[in-house]
Structure 1
Amino acid sequence: MTTGRFVRVDGVPLHVVVEGSGPPVVLSAGLVMAWFDWDQVAALLVARGRTVVRFDRPGHGLSAPATAPPTAAGEAHRIAGLLDALGLAGPVTVAGHSIAGFHAEAFARLYPERTAALVLVDTSIEEDPRTVWPAGVRTGAARVLGRALTAAGLPAALGPLARRAAVRASRTGGPDRPPPSAGGPPAARDLVRRVYRSSRVWRGALLENARYRDAAAEVLALRTGRPLAAPVTVLAGYDGSSGRGALRWLARQAELAVRLGARFEVVEPAGHLVMLDRPGLVARVVLDAGQRRA
């Protein structure tokens, strides 16, 4: 598994891995995930003649801590700043998983001239993202909880175990069935320990999660005045079950595709971590999206 280099964007050192050559693709992982969760997808894209950029948002992976609460527009600007720092001026295919789908969509709306295609990978969806507590209160609570977890030594003691449990529960079939053979091996133990024993990562995740609904509301607002100019694909993971939750999630993903005028594709069987369960299909969808640019 590859580790990369650090690039300073808006004063924050970001960990970034750049591989391959050809049309650029940016891969952004979901909450608490890291660059190595895209390893197999990246390898397949590089083999098909793409320049693949993977990066860790502040407080994630190996990047420095966040200096301010994240916003959807702020993360879109961060992607643009990273591309500038890397000298990648041409239009890019940007793929966002889970909460990073908000960031990827914001990028496509705010930087239409820099977007070749948008791929939303089992993206977060909030049709009515109202909040009970003010943003400042939620942010403060997240910071207090992060300091408490650090003081108790929980990230160092239980961080890697929590990561492994969360990944296992989010792959096809949940915790009681193994992932399909099409999926990839788990992340290297040394990298998992290096990343998830750090209190920085858990504090960053708490901070990002505290502003989750705010980011969703930002994206809804952008949809009213910032149309998408690039082709969009909504890619949904489905475990094949008839459970109400799984079917409802699939329906919401399909409804999102209609609202965005996007191509809708279902990956089955796959859990929420689609890129781990079915990396070949995710890579194919990303390639297809880039080739559909008008």
Structure 2
Amino acid sequence: MTTVFLRIDGTPLHVRAEGRGPVCLLSGGLGSSWFDWDLVVPFLTPYRTVVRFDRPGYGLSAPEPAARPVSTAAGEAERIRGVLDALGLREPCTVAGHSLAGFHVEAFARLHPGRAAGLVLVDGSTEPGARARPAPGLRDLAARAAAGAATAVAVPYLFGPAVRRLTVRATTVRGEELAPAPLVRHCYRTGRALRALLRENSRYLDMAAELDGLRRTAPLADGLAVTVLAADDGCDTPRTRDWLDSQRELAGLLGADFRTTAPAGHLLMFDRPDAVASAILDTG
């Protein structure tokens, strides 16, 4: 295993690379850290060189400078390219993104078609017809101010790990936090993680609208293997049916192989790491 801190666009990022074979890159959703993929990685490393990284403010990565605008889908695609280039991995690779990071890896595949060998969306975010919201600068300022105020009164330190545990329990079928407690405390007691989360969330619909534009102007490479892997919690409820329908529509839009795995919550990497790894191996 190689663990390094790489300065990408001026920000030190925590990056891990391990395994052997063709390259795959794993990118986590809103608020995720590198260790959320820990159960998936052992299924991949006998066959793939696996790259994980923490976006600015998450995990062990440094925060972005406060004055820098929150990233766009194109900016996140460039960050992925920068991580791979810094590692000397310039051959086409399979990119897998969970939830919000589905926007990032799809943008990478569209903007750098020669670098993508496969695209996997793991219960990826889908916002058809999204429209950018007004005043992005003011929204980002508000997100940073809210994070700063909360940090000043120790909200992340006191409640960050507990909120993380509750979120994991609510988004998995198994209903338990599997990440090591010391890592969770280290990464989620910090104001930088809260600021990163609020800043990303403030631009969620803007990024969805940006990706819709890329779908019209930057087509995926001909023959690119794409998989949409959707979580089915096994509950035949309107919410579950609507979510699976939205994932099926996303697969149709991308010409992707559509798969479901059950029972699984949104955090598939905890509930069904084998199914996540299988989708990545088959796609790549």
Q: TM-score, normalised by structure 2?
A: 0.95
- Corresponding position: 1:234 with 2:228: yes
Matched position secondary structure for 1:43: helix
- Corresponding position: 1:118 with 2:119: yes
- Corresponding position: 1:218 with 2:216: no
Q: Which residue number in structure 2 is paired with residue 45 of structure 1?
A: 44
How far does the alpha carbon of each residue in 1:19-61 deviate from its partner, in whole angstroms, 9 at most, with x for none? Answer: 01110000000000100000111111002x2100000011111
Q: Which residue number in structure 1 is paired with residue 272 of structure 2?
A: 278
Q: 1: distance between equivalents of 2:178 and 2:8? A: 30
Q: How does 1:83-122 map to 2 (within 5 A)?
A: 83-122=84-123
Q: Which amino acid aligns with 2:49?
A: T
Q: Which residue number in structure 1 is paired with residue 52 of structure 2?
A: 54
Q: Which residue number in structure 2 is paired with residue 288 of structure 1?
A: 282
Q: 1: distance between equivalents of 2:177 and 2:278? A: 19
How far does the alpha carbon of each residue in 1:93-138 deviate from its partner, in whole angstroms, 9 at most, with x for none? Answer: 0000000000000000001100000000000111122255421121
Q: Which amino acid aligns with 2:159?
A: L
Q: 2: distance between equivalents of 1:273 and 1:197? A: 21
Q: Which residue number in structure 2 is paired with residue 192 of structure 1?
A: 184
Q: 2: distance between equivalents of 1:55 and 1:194? A: 16
Q: 2: distance between equivalents of 1:127 and 1:281? A: 26
Q: TM-score, normalised by structure 1?
A: 0.92
Matched position secondary structure for 2:110: helix
- Corresponding position: 1:30 with 2:29: yes
Q: 2: distance between equivalents of 1:199 and 1:251? A: 37
- Corresponding position: 1:152 with 2:153: yes
Q: 2: distance between equivalents of 1:143 and 1:221? A: 27
Q: Which residue number in structure 2 is paired with residue 175 of structure 1?
A: none
Structure 1 unaligned regions, length at least 5: 173-177
Q: Which residue number in structure 2 is paired with residue 265 of structure 1?
A: 259
Q: 1: distance between equivalents of 2:139 and 2:179? A: 32
Q: 2: distance between equivalents of 1:20 and 1:185? A: 25
Q: Which residue number in structure 1 is paired with residue 196 of structure 2?
A: 204
> Does structure 1 retain, via aligned residues, the 8 Å contact 2:2–2:17?
no
Matched position secondary structure for 1:164: helix
Q: 1: distance between equivalents of 2:144 and 2:130? A: 22
> Does structure 1 retain, via aligned residues, the 8 Å contact 2:133–2:206?
no
Matched position secondary structure for 2:13: strand
Q: Which amino acid aligns with 1:66?
A: E
> Does structure 1 retain, via aligned residues, the 8 Å contact 2:130–2:209?
yes
